[in-house]
Amino acid sequence: MTMSELNFTAVGQALIKRDMRPYLHTHGHEVMSLIRDADLAFTNFEGAIEGRHGGWPTKDAWVTISQPYVLDVLREYGFNMLSLANNHAFDLGPAGILSTLEEVEKRSFLHAGIGEDFTDGARPGLADIAETKGALIAFDCGPQPDYVYALDPAQHRPARPGVHRLIVKHGNGGRRIDPDDESRVLRLIAESADEAGFVSVYMHNHHWEEDLEETLPWVRDFSRECVDAGANAVICHGVPLLQGAEVYRSKPIFYGLGNFIFHTLKPDHWIARTGGKAWEGIVAQSHFRNGDLEQIRFHPIAVGGGRTNTSLKHSPAELPQLLHDEEAARIIARFSQLSRPLGTEIVDDGGTGVLIPSV
């Protein structure tokens, strides 16, 4: 790789609870090789780490708590960039935020999205990777209770560890981003672009419509604003399903890459709601030259998580698996269909989707 070239790989969400390392090199090598081939390899770690700071569940259900070894799994896969901003980051409260930060930093991930206070949570992650400096800005759009979001100390109030926010409000005219948050985040992106050679932006939201695969207009509009501000790539998650992708000003925007690992304790809920689509995902390999996109390859995967295994045991079959033949063609066709309304044409190249930006 020269300084003018960069390979950026992004995958779906990693809701991971189990130690998958014993099987990685025997049953997961195809997917692992795709991730390890990247200079920057990104996923969203969906959960809270139970570490030395302790903590208590902040919800009655849908609690996602993991042991520190899950971060070793992600490192072994080849990921070096993590978003930590999502609706499960605060599942152990402020103590869980502190433990997650501590364990992520021990493993030298480039990370962003949570912090010891608001200022820390909003701070972009920066790291020298390969021959460039990478930056990551990550935030959660809710809807979540106010107490999950990080706060700076005030005169009569201590700081609160929590999640970096981008508040989205409901009104008669639909959804609207809080203007102060909007201008602040765009300013963070612009400042990062002045300092780093490659800026990634991650947005997590649970403002879902009845059609879970639909890319919402406000998400698309703000993602484009992020590119205008200086982002080289934008990744969106929240809905645990595929949504479309587009290229805007020679920069990729991924509106939903599905899941990567999905150790949900309620698989029946997602089977009933999605018919199994929550166990399908994409590994997106983007090749950049001089900061602009040259090509994206989309590799369809069967997501690791186990639609029938809800115990804390693990089996090799739960590893994300690269799909081939008819299954691969089916997922690429659906992903292409979701992307076409966004002006994106994805070509099936033998079970791998290819997007070459128009000049």
Domain segments of the chain: what residues? 5-110+217-355
Give residue 309's pLDDT.
Answer: 45
Question: Is the pLDDT higher at 20 or at 117?
Answer: 117
5-110+217-355 folds as Purple Acid Phosphatase; chain A, domain 2 (3.60.21)
Give residue for tokens 């959960």: 47
Question: How many angstroms from the chain centroid is the CA of residue 108?
Answer: 18
Question: Is the pLDDT higher at 3 or at 322?
Answer: 322
Distances (CA, A) of 215 to 55, 253, 262, 309: 35, 11, 21, 31
Structure confidence at residue 267 as a pLDDT band (50, 70, 90): confident
Q: Are 84 and 138 in contact (CB under 8 A)?
A: yes
Give residue 311's pLDDT.
Answer: 45
Q: Are 81 and 131 in contact (CB under 8 A)?
A: no
Residue closest to 314 by CA, chosen among 67, 42, 49, 56 = 67
Q: pLDDT digit string (tens) for 333-346? A: 999 999 999 999 99
Q: How far apart are CA 65 and CA 90, in angstroms?
A: 10
Distances (CA, A) of 353 to 42, 233, 288, 323, 334: 19, 18, 17, 12, 11
Q: Is 27 helix (H, G, I), strand (E, B) or coil?
A: helix
Percent of the chain whose predicted confidence (pLDDT) is above 90: 75
Q: Is 15 helix (H, G, I), strand (E, B) or coil?
A: strand
Structure confidence at residue 305 as a pLDDT band (50, 70, 90): low
